[in-house]
Amino acid sequence: DIAERTLICVWKSPPISMPSTTISEKTGIPRSTIDSVYAKACNRGFEPNAHIFSIKDEHVKNSKRTGRP
């Protein structure tokens, strides 16, 4: 959910810079998913090294799915 994805971004970002394996151990989320969530957030405009730290919904929300509902 959006709260878990936000937490992943906070933990992986400086100054915490928690390794994906540690986040996986704490949350039960696979390491590959953690890396994917963080990469998507960065691609969507999340700047972990910005002077003012800000995570917006559009950085971590689910993508639109195509196809049948």
| pLDDT single digits (tens) 6-35 | 999 999 999 899 999 999 999 999 999 999
The rounded distance, in Å, linking the Cα atoms of 16 and 37 is 17
Domain borders along the chain are 2-60
Give 53: exposed, middle or buried? Use CB within 10 Å, 0-12, 13-18, 19+. middle
DSSP 43-69: HTT--TT-SS----HHHHSPPP--S--
* pLDDT tens-digit readout, 27-60: 999 999 999 999 999 999 999 999 888 999 999 9
Q: Is 22 helix (H, G, I), strand (E, B) or coil?
A: helix
